[in-house]
Structure 1
């Protein structure tokens, strides 16, 4: 039974390591975020690797003794995650303080302690060093210590994400990305809480069953690694971004206001949409902005694309013209062309989509 579990846990660890390599090529936008994410995922994967090899009774890799290898992975998992979340914000915002780096101290101290034991064990000075430490209850209480430490850091990560949720500058896509990071954190908190519950159970059942119960912790970690892998592959564009924060009375807010005024003028006063060949670049040039900024502004303000926005304005123009006495002598096609449509088919399709009626049906309804 434990051998099957060991294989599943080992595959989880291998996937975590391979994922670190794969994501290396996705790090271009924010290298700091990648480095911290890699620390988190590598440490979590190393956790599984250590116990998988122990269950499989593999104690040496080449000339390197693996038993009790002194890498303080348990104290680095949440530290990596915490810095990954904070490094999403641009360095100029300085959300990472020099005091945050003190969070590495538990890993450093524990790493030094483990190295001392590791050397004594493998040099033959004291082959019972780990057993003697175990009998003191140190490892049991260390399990609680690292889980509580991880839970604390994850709570701080969530608090950070909630605090800056409304201050993220950018598009709706940026807000969606930020919400995904929050979900990512909540899932990890759930994993740590389950780990803590299982650690208590291990403590209660004692030595006789703790190997079996602890295997559930490893399986849970493996499931989480698989989930991280799935999320990373399907949403890798969410992982390593650089967000900036809004400022009070920011230039960005003023720019949006000016953009709205100019768009209102050119669309509702000048009626540039009546130009059949109007392109996004044309309107952006008139408003004195770039195409990307204008496209994003239209989507955020009206929840539609540029073409949908222009066609809706044309439909409103057609509806206005149909209600005037002077336009009754013109055909529907002539009115549509006057509003900016270039073909009868596109006019009919857009009109039906926007109003729910064909142009003919709508015109007839005006007579009733």
Structure 2
């Protein structure tokens, strides 16, 4: 997300910084906030276009309380922003933060009956993990549907891992049995025809291409990079700070609460992402639409620059799901032009 938003790129080499003309900052003015004292690898973004926009990436689950205080203090200092429309965007892991932040803003607005209220217009989530257990099974549905594993692997996982739990309201941590974990590891290695489970896991970010060679991490470790940032030389420390238990929190009830306030939500996902496959997200969106009695109003391809961009499903213009063609995890990084189109044309300008 950071690489797709900032106007720079080091995709050619770690030592070479280039301008990125497909960056969102070509259209957006941006302030980057770092709250790493509270969260692991935190990136909070305040973005201005015609409207006031808040975007977040890799935020810990409870940081929304601090940022609610921050945004209220900022509005006191710059009251002209109070009249702006507010858009919330959270890619990848940030889906565990952004829905809480959105609901905290809504709860605050309800309590302020005769004073300032946040004018939340839309919510966007990119490649989000919405229900960990079901999304884990979706990985093997993805492999099987593409012929990457055979039916025996698929059936063995369903057998050893106790099938699919339809409990959409469980926040309990998942404890896979040893036989279940072994079956999943074998399926991952078979899917990518490798003998190392670590290599197989790395390949899940993009099933069509080799995994990232960590050019960005190499750049951060350089003395010249550390001189101008607060980056720690040991990037591995981030894993120690990451709150893995957060991933088991079921996000769907919180999204339903937001939709009940008539705030549209758009979810977009890369179709080559085997971290959080589109098949899982589409199942969640369909269930959410059914629970809220929303009717499907669009089931069609969408185009960008005269090329197929992916597929779009829309439910009463309140809930949207969009696949991004030939795109990995996260979509904002691998296809910045297409995701910028989603942001500017679907989220900011839904009548487009």
More strand by share: 2
Q: For the superposition of Structure 1 and Structure 2, which TM-score range results when normalised by the shorter chain?
A: under 0.3
Instruction: Pick the structure with greater CA Rg.
Output: 1
Query: Higher helix share goes to which structure?
Result: 1
